[in-house]
Structure 1
Amino acid sequence: MMTQRITTLLVALALITLAATAQNAQKSTSNGKKSTIQLTQQYINFLKKKAQGKQQIAQKRSSDPATVTREQKVKEAESTQENDADESFDDFMGDLNANFDDFNQSMQQDFENFRNQINEAYANFLREAWKQFDADAPIPQPKEKDVPPVIKPQEDKPQPRPQEDRVLPIKPVVVTIPKAEPQPEPIEPIEEQPKGDAPQYVDFTVFGTQCRIRFGDEERFRLPAVNKDAIADLWVRLATPAYNNTLHDCLQLRRDHQFCDWAYLHLLDSASQACLGKGNEATLLMAYLYCQSGYKMRMGIADNRLFMLFGSKHVLFNRSYYTIGDCYYYPYGGNAEKLYICEVPFPQEQPLSMLLPQEQRFDYEASAPRSLKSAAFPKVLVEATVNKKALSFYASYPPSMINENQQTLWAMYANMPMPKAISQTFMAAMKEKIAGLSQLEAMERLLNFVQTAFVYEYDDKVWGCDRAFFPEETLYYPYCDCEDRSILLSRMVRDLLGLRCVLIHYPGHLAMAVQFTDDVKGDCIMLQGEKFTVCDPTYIGAHVGETMPGMNNAEAKAILLENK
C-alpha cells in the first residue's frame, strides 16, 4: 500500500516542484488554505520524521538483547509508525487536492499576464523599429547534367553476381542530417476561454484535409491602414484572451494531424483566409498566430501591402529572401525587392524546419490501384494505392538544404517515414514476397523491382524542372528518375529488411548502398569502418554489388540516412 502511495507522491512532488517556481506559490490563498511551498515543506518534514523513526527502531534492534516480547513491541511500534504515515499521507494529499485547483487557476492567470506583457512590449516596438531591407537573390537549386540510365546487357545465360569485394575509391565524406528537434511552442501555455453554449466556428481545408477552429464575428477586424501604428494597435487587440481559442485550436490541429512546420504554415494561411478573406487582415492574423505558436516571424510593408516572413534554418532554393541576423526570412505568398521590416525578435522564437520526422495525417482519398511487377522475378507483383490528398502537400514542399550542403536535399525526402496506409498495403505485400529469403536474395528482388517496375524519364521533360519525389509520389506518378528510385528503394530496405542505407551522389546521378549483416560481396564503399554494398536502381538489370558504368567515384559523396 505504501509503495503505491509513494509512487503517487513522486508524481505530486514533480508537479509541486515545477509549480513552486511560480510567484504565487510563495503565498497563501485568501481562504486560508496552505500554499504549495507550505505543503511541500509539510511532507518533507513528514518524510524526515518517518525516516528518523525507522532508524531509531533499527538501532534499538542492534544494541539491545533481543527477546520475543521486545521484538513484538518493536513490530507494534513499526505498525503504529505505518498507520501514522498513512494518516499523514492522507492529510497531505487532502490539503494538496484542496489547494491545487486554486493554485492551477492562479498559475494560468500568471502565464496569461506574462504573455500579455510581452505582447504589449512587442507592440510598442512595432510602432518604432522598422527598417528598409533589400531582398537577396534566390539561391538556385544546383543543376547537374543528367546521367542517362544504363541497361545491363542480358546474355542467354544468367550472369553470375560479383564474388569478391571491390572497394570503390569514394572519398569518405559522409553527409548527415541533424536530428529533428521538438516543434516550437508558445512562450506560455494558451488558456482556453469560455464561449458559452454555442461557440462560432470557421471551417476550412488544407491539403484536402477538413479543419475547424473557433472564430466568431466579434473577433473579425479591419486593418484601416498599412502602417506601423495601425499594425501595432491590432496586435494589442489580437493579444487579448479573445483570440486564445483560435490559437489553441490551430495548435491542437497541428498535434492531431502531426503536421510538420511547413504544413502548419499552410494551415495558418488557410485558417486566416477562412476567417478574414484574402488580404492584409488575413496576413496580420496569420503573422500573429505563427508568432504566438513559437516561430520566428517578421512583418514587412511594401506598396500598401503587408507581408509575413517566416524564418528558416534551411536554405529554400529558388526563392528570394531577406537576411536578418543569422537567419533567412522568406516572404510567404509573394515577393518584393524591398521591404520595410520590423526586425525586433519575439522571445524564445524558433526557426521553421523542413525536416519531416513523422507521417503527416491528411484526410484519406485512395488513388486507383497501380500494378507493379519485377521483370526478373515475375512473382513479385504488387498493387500500390496512395493518398491523393497528400500529393498536393508534396507538390508544395520546396527543395531545400541545411548547413549549406546540397546533398542534404535528398536525405530530407528519403528520411520521411512511409505513410501507415502504404505500410499496411504495398509494403506488407512486398514483405510477403521476400519472406524466408536471405538478405541477398531479398535485396535482389527489391532491387530488380525498382529497376524494372517503373518507367524512367527526366524531370525536365515531365515537370519542366528538377523535382525529387517522396516515396509515395514514386508509387503514384507514371515516371521517375534516378533520385526518386534511390529514395524509394532506401525506404523499402530500411523498413522491410531493417538494414542501414546511404545514398551515393555522383555528379548527375544518385544511387544507393546497403550495409548488410550477412556476407555479401560486390562493389562497396567504406564509411566509418563499415562496408556498404552498392545497389543501383537505375542500372537496369544489374545485381547487388554492381556499379553503373561511367560513374566518377573520385567526386562521389555518401549521404547517411536515418535507420527507421
Structure 2
Amino acid sequence: MSIFASVSLANDYQDWINSQQQQYKQYKKSMDDEFSDMLKKDWKTFQLMSTPSPYKDPKPLKLPKLQKPISIQKDEIINSPIIDIEPIKKTVIVKPVQVKKEIEKKGNLSNLVFDFYSSNITIQYDKNTDFTLQKIDKNNISNFWKMMSKTNFTLLLDQIQNEKENLNLNDWATYQLIHKLGMAIFKENNNANLFTWFVLIKMNYDTKVGYNMDKIYLMSTIENNLFQVSFFTLKNKKYYILRADGQTQKIGTLYTYSGDYPKAINKLSFNIYNELKFFKNLETKNLTFNYNNEKYIIQTQYSQDLVKFYKSFPQTDYNVYFKTKSSTPFSNSILVKIAPLIKGKSEIEAVNLLLRFVQTSFKYKTDQDQFDYEKVMFPEETVNYPYSDCEDRSILFSYLVKNLLKLDVVAVKYSDHLATAVALSSKISGDSFNYKNTQYTIADATYINANAGTSMPKYKNSRFKIIDFQ
C-alpha cells in the first residue's frame, strides 16, 4: 500500500470519528431540547409525607444500672479462648493529593476556589453559566435547563468526578460538593438547587426539582430508607427532599413534573464504602473507665470535619452506621490504645472490658433531649458529643468487637431500645439466642456494669428484631 493510500485511510478514519462525535453531540442536544420542552408542560401537585422514627415507643429517659457486675464463672473463663493479637500498628495517613487529571478546557472560563471540609477545591466553569431567576415557575426552570445545556458542562462533570475520587466521596458528599459549588457560582439557594439538579441528572442520578411559593426543592430517589425526611411517590418510586445540611422540614405540597431524563436512573446512596479523606481539623479527647477495679484512660483522635459531615446525615438504615469504616485517625487512636488491654485476657473478659468501656465512658441522654430530633451517630460522633444513647453505643461497641476480636455481631432492636449480641467462641450462661445456626449472646452497651449475657430486666422476655449487618 502506498504512502498516499495510508494517508487517505487515516483521513477517512478521522473524518468518521469526527462524524460520530458530531452525531453524538446532536443526539445529546436533541435530548436536552426535548427535556426542556417537556418541563414547560403540565406539572402536578404532590402531597409530601415522611416516615417516622423506627421506634414504636419513646426511648427511656433513664436506664437501669447494675450496682455490681455479675461475676463470670471460672469454668467459663477457662473454656473461653485467650486473646492473642499482635500489636496494632498505626496506619499511615495518606492525605489526599490534588492529582489534576488532564482535562480538555475549551471556551471562556471562570476560576472558582472554595472550602469543602477543610479541602481547597478549585473548579473552572463556563462563564455562560449565568441565570437570573426572576420568577419561580415551570417556564423559568425549563429556561435554566436550556441555559446549562448550552454551556461546557462536561468540563464541570470531569472536575467533579476528579474531586470525588481525590477525597473518596460517597454519593451524599458528592451531592454536597455540587450544591456548594452551585452556591459559590449563584450565591442563592434556589439557583444552587437547579444547578445541582442539572449536574446530578447529567451524572445519571434520578433527581427532580419541584417548587411551592418562593422555594425550589431538589429531590432524588434514594437507595436507602430515610426517616423524618419529606418525600412523595411517583411511578412507584419515592423522591426524597434533599438539603445539604440534612435538616428535616415539613413542606406540605409542591409542584413537579412526571417526565424522566434518559439514562438518569441511578439512586443516590448514603452508604460509605470507602474511607472519606477528611483528615484535617483533628480533635483529641480522653475517655476514662474502670474495669475490675482498675482505671483506664483512652486517648482518642478524630476529625471535626468528619463529625460535621456526619451531622448532615438524615437518619437512614442502621446498616449504614454499623458497616461504615471508621476513619484512620480514629482507628489509629482507639484501637491502638485498647488492644493491649485485652491481649492475654479470655475472650469473654475482653468482651466485658469493651462493654464496660462503652457503658461508662459516656453520659446518657436521648437524641430528643440532646438534638431535639432522632439522630443515629457514627463512632466518631459518639466520642465527640457530650451524650449518647443506645444506638450510638451499640454501633461503637460493634466496631470495637469486629475490629479487635474479629467476632460477628448483630443488633437487637426492641420497641424502644437497641442492644447487640455477639457470637462468642464458647458457651456462657445468660441471655442468648440462635440465629442462622449460630448462638449469639446479648451484650447491652447501655446497661451500665452489665456483662455479656445480661439483658435489662425490662427486655428479658421482650420480643425483638434482629438487624444483621455482616
Q: TM-score range by the shorter chain?
A: 0.7 to 0.9
Secondary structure of the residue that 1:159 maps to in structure 2? coil
- 1:162·1:545 contact (CA, 8 Å) conserved in 2? no
> Residue 299 of structure 2 contacts residue 334 of structure 2 at CA under 8 Å; is this kept in 1?
yes
Percent sequence identity is 24
- Asked whether 1:416 is paired with 2:324, we answer yes
Instruction: Say whether the 8 Å CA contact 2:51–2:227 is kept in structure 1.
Output: yes
Instruction: Establish whether residue 194 from structure 1 lines up as the match of residue 105 from structure 2.
Output: yes
Corresponding position of 2:441: 533
Q: Does 1:145 align with 2:70?
A: no
Q: Deviations over 1:478-500 (max 9, x none)?
A: 22112211110001111111111
1:554, distance to aligned residue in structure 2 (A): 4.2
**Is 1:193–1:241's contact at 8 Å kept on the other side of the alignment?**
no
- The residue identity in structure 1 corresponding to 2:280 is Y
What amino acid is aligned across from residue 292 of structure 2 in structure 1?
A: A
1:403 aligned partner? none
Equivalent-residue separation in structure 2 for 1:492 and 1:29 (angstroms): 66
TM-score, normalized by length of structure 2? 0.82
> Relative to 1, partners in 2 of residues 1:29 and 1:218: Cα closer, same or farther, differing over 3 Å?
farther
Partner of 1:289: 199
Report the Cα distance in structure 2 between the residues aligned to 1:507 and 1:230, rounded to whole angstroms: 48
Helix, strand or coil at the partner of 2:283: coil
Contact 1:313 1:327 in 2 (8 A): no
1:447–1:237 Cα change, 3 Å: same
Task: Report the equivalent of 2:113.
Answer: 203
Q: Helix, strand or coil: the match of 1:340?
A: strand
2:308 aligned residue: 392
Separation in structure 2 between the aligned mates of residue 339 and residue 500 of structure 1, nearest angstrom: 45
Q: Please give the secondary structure, in 2, of the residue aligned with 1:312.
A: coil
CA distance in 2, matches of 1:365, 1:516: 38
1:342 aligns with 2:319: no
Bigger Rg, structure 1 or 2: 1
Matching residue of 2:91: none
Tell which deviates more after alignment, 240-249 or 108-117.
108-117
> TM-score, normalized by length of structure 1?
0.70
Flag structure 2 segments of 5+ consecutive residues without an equivalent: 77-100, 244-248
| Aligned with 1:366 (options 282, 285, 296) | 282
Q: Conserved in 1, the CA contact under 8 Å of 2:46 and 2:256?
A: no
Aligned to 1:548: 456
When residues 103 and 372 of structure 1 are mapped into structure 2, their CA distance, relative to the original with a 3 A threshold, is farther
Q: CA-to-partner distance for each residue in 1:118-160, whole Å, 9 max, x for gaps? A: 22322222222x32223223332244233442222328xx723
Instruction: Tell me, yes or no, if the aligned pair for 2:221 and 2:240 is still in contact at 8 Å.
Output: yes
Report the Cα distance in structure 2 between the residues aligned to 1:381 and 1:109, rounded to whole angstroms: 66
Distance 2:104 2:262 in 1: 24
Instruction: Tell me how far 1:335 sits from its aligned partner.
Output: 5.8
Matches within 5 A, 1:115-130: 115-128=28-41, 130=42
Give the C-alpha shift of residue 278 in structure 1. Answer: 0.5
Alpha-carbon distance in structure 2 between the residues aligned to 1:291 and 1:502: 37
Cα distance change, pair 387–30 in 1 and its aligned pair in 2 (3 A):
same
- Considering fraction of residues, name the structure with more helix: 1
Q: Structure 1 stretch 341-350 or stretch 142-151: which is displaced more?
A: 142-151
Letter paired with 2:67: P
- Aligned positions of 1:479-494 closer than 5 A: 479-494=387-402
CA RMSD of aligned residues (A): 3.1
Cα pair distance change 1:212/1:200, threshold 3 Å: same
Summarize the alignment of residues 87-486 of structure 1 with structure 2, pairs less than 5 Å apart.
112-128=25-41, 130-143=42-55, 144-147=57-60, 148-154=62-68, 159-161=71-73, 192-195=103-106, 200-240=110-150, 242-303=152-213, 305-333=215-243, 336-348=251-263, 349-376=265-292, 378=294, 380-400=296-316, 409-486=317-394
1:533-553 CA-to-partner distances (Å, cap 9, x unmatched) read 121112222222222222154
Residue 531 of structure 1 deviates from its aligned partner by 1.0
